[in-house]
Structure 1
């Protein structure tokens, strides 16, 4: 017969159950991967600041029409009385800044710059977001398929990526945008312009996402959990959806946040060249294109949309860098 357990003395002599008696659950509760990533992200002040700016920009784009209606703004309203006909420049100092026009007016028609910046926000973010979504969907499908199945599928998709990466995207975007100005696919005007930009930018940008996803899939398909799923009789589609895709969320999310500012700059560049969003619709790139001819009359008309693009791109880049560091399993 064994001797009874001692209940007195040091903690080493007491059974583990007795040591944990009375301990709070929060003291022994583990943290999930999401909680660990959020803790890391909060420590990066620049990433948090970038995330806040991104949220504010998205809200501004979504609420641009209600904001203009609430404050009586009209981005296309002319104020010729605010333009000095002799100098062809806004009257007053700092580009005609006043309480009614906090950022001044453009030196061509006297349109309010603030209302045009707000109006152009939803155009730039819609084109960049739609193009990013399209490239992510195509890139993930192609990358996962090439990395998991390998063989002829990998060879075919990889060569297609090389062809798309070597394609002169800018020249193609200029030609197709210029040829579809009158109408196509039942669309005309602004909806057609936005749809063409989303398709051109997104469809020809998917190889960047596809290469990253393919490389991650090649590494993940050799892991133990994939082999375990195969040993239990799981087939390819089940493994792709239930095993591989959840482990690809982090790199997809990070690269998407870094792809959005690239698409914003590309849309601004096309509008700057005159094949993007056509006037009188306001867009940040279109405002820069107009400002090149009016720089001497009012430099502020170029500085304001330039700063809008700069702040947006910087915020998305800071957010993407912060997410990359937070979701890195090797990070501390």
Structure 2
């Protein structure tokens, strides 16, 4: 309806365009769901700061891979024996050998004074690569099987759900220890650290898909009853079209949120395997491996455990806080 207005003593009706433009004479523009989610995310300062940290970590890991494995600019295995006391094999300077040249100190004794900062930097790409790649495998398998189980239901849902239960009951840690412990240094046509990295990515990613599969299945059971699915069926849409063109795009928000929460879990899992000695083999630096090395030095100086532990802690915390912020921003019921 249009509202009557007075124009020179006569009654007239206001046009809809006049109501839309308002006093500022500017047309009102709508916002997409993505723009609304971005506005909510920008108001969350903690999530934004965590997102900046995540970007920094990813760029640092990429730079570490290029500088270490491609160009060979940095050398995390370089010895600094001249900075160790000849009798005690401890750093000459206090606080673990911290100096301007070695801001995080050096490793003593058997490790020949290797620079801790360089090793943390060089080991970052392994942790993030395994975390991201394993998460991608879990998301792809879990999303596809979860949406199929939730949409078709019946015996298809029963088979996939029982498979999820079997994978969830599988002793993943023991299996990973047993499998990674027997992988040779040359397998699958690869040499060096790559066979073990490939095995860790496969084991962590393949056996973690049921966590995402259950979430996707539950969401699909709700979405399949919505009007847009009925409309797609009435227009002749077949099941593959409805699954991958109608349902999966509406599941991107929970998939994105859970992915940011699964990445730090996979990083911790890789660090635990390296700590137990069945991850990437030394002397290749990894954060978990550095913590394992620091256990033999803890009685001498606990300082050597702080920086690799802090690297894991800050990385995992940043991903978790970013995931919480994305969940609040993408939830239409969030206030």
Q: Place the TM-score, normalised by the shorter chain, in its bin.
A: over 0.9
Task: Provide the C-alpha distance between the structure 1 equivalents of 2:32 and 2:126, rounded to a whole number of angstroms.
Answer: 38
- Is 1:201 the counterpart of 2:186? The answer is no
Deviation of the 1:298 alpha carbon: 3.1
Q: Do 1:89 and 1:297's aligned partners in 2 also have CA atoms closer than 8 Å?
A: no
Task: Provide the C-alpha distance between the structure 1 equivalents of 2:101 and 2:17, rounded to a whole number of angstroms.
Answer: 72
**Aligned match of 1:288:** 291
Scaled by the length of structure 1, the TM-score of the pair is 0.93
**Aligned match of 1:100:** 101
Deviation of the 1:134 alpha carbon: 0.6
Task: Provide the C-alpha distance between the structure 2 equivalents of 1:61 and 1:284, rounded to a whole number of angstroms.
Answer: 12
Deviation of the 1:17 alpha carbon: 3.5
Compute the RMSD of aligned alpha carbons.
2.3
Alignment of 1:166-315 (within 5 A): 166-315=169-318
Q: Tell me the SS of whatever aligns to 2:319.
A: helix
When the two structures are aligned, how many residues end up with a matched partner? 329
Distance 1:242 1:8, change over 3 A: farther
Q: Do 2:185 and 2:193's aligned partners in 1 also have CA atoms closer than 8 Å?
A: no
Task: Describe the superposition over 1:156-206 as per-residue Cα deviations: whole angstroms up to 9, x where unpaired.
Answer: 000000000000001100110111134322223201011010001000000
Q: Which runs of 5+ in 1 are unaligned?
A: none
Q: Which moved more, 1:280-289 or 1:75-84?
A: 75-84
Q: Which runs of 5+ in 2 are unaligned?
A: none
Q: Do 2:21 and 2:27's aligned partners in 1 also have CA atoms closer than 8 Å?
A: no
Task: Describe the superposition over 1:240-272 as per-residue Cα deviations: whole angstroms up to 9, x where unpaired.
Answer: 111101100000000000000000000000000
Which has the higher relative contact order, 1 or 2, with Cα contacts under 8 A spaced 6 or more apart? 1
Q: Which moved more, 1:285-294 or 1:83-92?
A: 83-92
- Is 1:35 the counterpart of 2:35? The answer is yes
Alignment of 1:141-180 (within 5 A): 141-180=144-183
Task: Provide the C-alpha distance between the structure 1 equivalents of 2:117 and 2:169, rounded to a whole number of angstroms.
Answer: 39
Q: Tell me the SS of whatever aligns to 1:95.
A: helix
Q: Do 1:90 and 1:298's aligned partners in 2 also have CA atoms closer than 8 Å?
A: no
Scaled by the length of structure 2, the TM-score of the pair is 0.92
- Is 1:59 the counterpart of 2:62? The answer is no
Q: Do 2:20 and 2:27's aligned partners in 1 also have CA atoms closer than 8 Å?
A: no
Task: Provide the C-alpha distance between the structure 2 equivalents of 1:125 and 1:9, rounded to a whole number of angstroms.
Answer: 73
Distance 1:149 1:24, change over 3 A: farther
Q: Which moved more, 1:183-192 or 1:73-82?
A: 183-192
Task: Provide the C-alpha distance between the structure 1 equivalents of 2:40 and 2:11, rounded to a whole number of angstroms.
Answer: 35
Task: Provide the C-alpha distance between the structure 1 equivalents of 2:215 and 2:168, rounded to a whole number of angstroms.
Answer: 14
**Aligned match of 1:86:** 87
